[in-house]
C-alpha cells in the first residue's frame, strides 16, 4: 500500500462526504466532553483531535475531527454521516445546557495533496475566511480546508477517491450507514489516532471502552487488506471459515475487523484472495 497521491492532485477538491457541525454556547465544551469519546476539554484554541460519538453499548455512531474555535465554539468535521440527523440526536441530550448546534451549509470542506500554509500537526491555522488543517504526514502532506462555497473548489472524482484511500490506508475508518453502531473504538483500532480516552470522566459507552481496555479484552482490531471487489459488511474468510468483516473500502484498499491473533493463512472475500498490508502511520493527533 502506498500513500503517494495521484499526480496533479495539489488542486483543491471538494470533499462532499465531510460536513461541518458547529456547537456554540457557554456550555458547549462541557457538553462535548460529556458526550464524545475524546478528551475535548484538553483542547486549546485552534487545536483539533479525532473523536466520535458512541451508543451506550460503546458502538461508534459517528466519527469526526473536533476543532476548538474559542471558549464557546467547537467545529465538528463529520465523516460520512447525515450531519443533520447526528445534530438532532445530540440535541436530545442538551436539556438545560447553553448549547446551540448548526449544520454549516454555508461552508464547504475541501482538500488537496499539498502542505498547509501554516497549520501543523494538531494546530489549525486561520487565513482570511479559510481554516486549514494538517491532514497529512511528514512525507506525504495533505491540507484540509473549511471555506465558503465562493472559494470555488469543485469535486474531482480521482482526487476524492485518492483522499478516501489515503484515510483508509492510514487506519481512519470511513463508515457507511451499514457500519454504524456495529463496532467499538478498540475494534476500529482508534487508539492509533488518539481518538478516545479511557482516563477522562463519563461519556456514552465509556464503561464498555474502559472495561475492555483495563481488562485486556481487546481481541479484534483493524487490518488493512489489498484486493478488489470487497464491500462494507462482506465477510473475510480463511479456509472457508469466517474471521471478520470489511468495514471500509476505497479503490483496492480495504479495512476489516479481524482477530488480532490468527493463523498466518490466506484470506479471501468471496472467491477473491486478499492480502494483508501494513497500516500506515501519521494521522494520529
Confidence of residue 79 (pLDDT cuts 50, 70, 90): very high
CA torsion 201-206-209-211 (nearest 10°) is 80
User: Does residue 28 sit in the same domain as residue 162?
Assistant: yes
User: Does residue 131 sit in the same domain as residue 188?
Assistant: no
User: Does residue 208 sit in the same domain as residue 77?
Assistant: no
User: Looking at residue 152, what is its pLDDT?
Assistant: 84
- The Cα 9–Cα 120 span in angstroms is 20
Q: Around Cβ 47, how many Cβ atoms within 10 Å?
A: 15
- The Cα 241–Cα 246 span in angstroms is 15
User: Does residue 45 sit in the same domain as residue 148?
Assistant: yes
User: What domain range includes position 144?
Assistant: 13-169
Asked if residue 5 has pLDDT above 60, the reply is no
Q: Is residue 128 part of a domain?
A: yes
Give me the number of domains the chain comprises. Answer: 2
Per residue in 152-181, pLDDT tens?
899 999 999 999 999 999 999 999 999 999
User: Does residue 87 sit in the same domain as residue 204?
Assistant: no
Confidence of residue 109 (pLDDT cuts 50, 70, 90): very high
Q: Minimal CA–CA distance to 226: which of 283, 158, 171, 169?
A: 169
User: Does residue 257 sit in the same domain as residue 151?
Assistant: no
User: Does residue 186 sit in the same domain as residue 219?
Assistant: yes
- The Cα 48–Cα 265 span in angstroms is 40
Q: Is residue 248 part of a domain?
A: yes
User: Looking at residue 7, what is its pLDDT?
Assistant: 41
- The Cα 253–Cα 20 span in angstroms is 26
User: Does residue 79 sit in the same domain as residue 187?
Assistant: no
User: Does residue 140 sit in the same domain as residue 231?
Assistant: no
- The Cα 33–Cα 93 span in angstroms is 13
Per residue in 191-237, pLDDT tens?
999 999 999 999 999 999 999 999 988 899 999 999 988 999 999 99
What are the beta bridge partners of residue 253?
A: 226, 250
Amino acid at each position: 500500500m502506498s500513500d503517494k497521491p495521484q499526480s496533479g492532485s495539489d488542486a483543491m477538491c471538494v470533499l462532499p462526504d465531510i460536513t461541518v457541525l458547529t456547537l456554540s454556547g457557554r456550555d458547549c465544551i462541557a457538553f462535548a466532553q460529556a458526550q464524545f469519546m475524546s478528551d475535548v476539554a484538553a483542547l486549546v484554541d485552534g487545536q483539533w483531535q479525532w473523536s466520535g460519538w458512541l451508543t451506550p453499548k460503546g458502538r461508534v455512531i459517528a466519527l469526526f475531527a473536533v476543532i476548538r474555535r474559542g471558549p464557546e465554539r467547537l467545529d465538528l468535521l463529520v465523516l460520512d454521516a447525515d450531519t443533520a440527523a447526528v445534530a438532532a440526536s445530540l440535541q436530545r441530550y442538551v436539556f438545560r445546557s447553553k448549547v446551540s448546534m448548526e449544520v454549516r451549509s454555508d461552508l464547504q470542506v475541501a482538500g488537496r495533496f499539498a502542505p498547509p500554509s501554516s497549520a501543523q500537526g494538531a494546530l489549525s491555522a486561520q487565513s482570511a475566511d479559510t481554516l486549514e488543517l494538517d491532514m497529512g504526514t511528514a512525507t506525504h502532506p495533505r491540507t484540509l480546508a473549511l471555506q465558503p462555497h465562493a472559494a470555488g473548489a469543485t469535486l474531482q472524482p480521482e482526487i476524492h477517491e485518492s483522499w478516501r484511500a489515503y484515510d483508509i490506508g492510514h487506519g481512519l475508518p470511513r463508515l457507511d450507514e451499514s457500519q454504524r453502531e456495529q463496532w467499538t473504538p478498540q475494534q476500529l483500532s482508534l487508539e492509533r489516532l488518539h481518538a478516545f480516552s479511557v482516563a477522562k470522566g463519563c461519556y456514552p459507552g465509556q464503561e464498555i471502552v474502559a472495561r475492555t481496555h483495563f481488562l485486556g479484552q481487546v481481541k479484534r482490531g483493524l487490518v488493512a487488506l489489498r484486493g478488489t471487489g470487497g464491500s462494507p459488511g462482506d465477510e473475510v474468510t480463511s479456509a472457508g471459515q469466517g474471521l471478520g468483516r470489511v468495514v471500509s473500502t476505497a479503490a483496492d484498499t480495504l479495512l476489516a475487523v479481524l482477530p488480532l491473533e490468527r493463523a498466518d493463512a490466506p484470506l479471501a472475500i468471496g472467491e477473491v484472495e486478499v492480502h494483508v498490508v501494513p497500516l500506515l502511520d501519521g494521522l494520529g493527533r
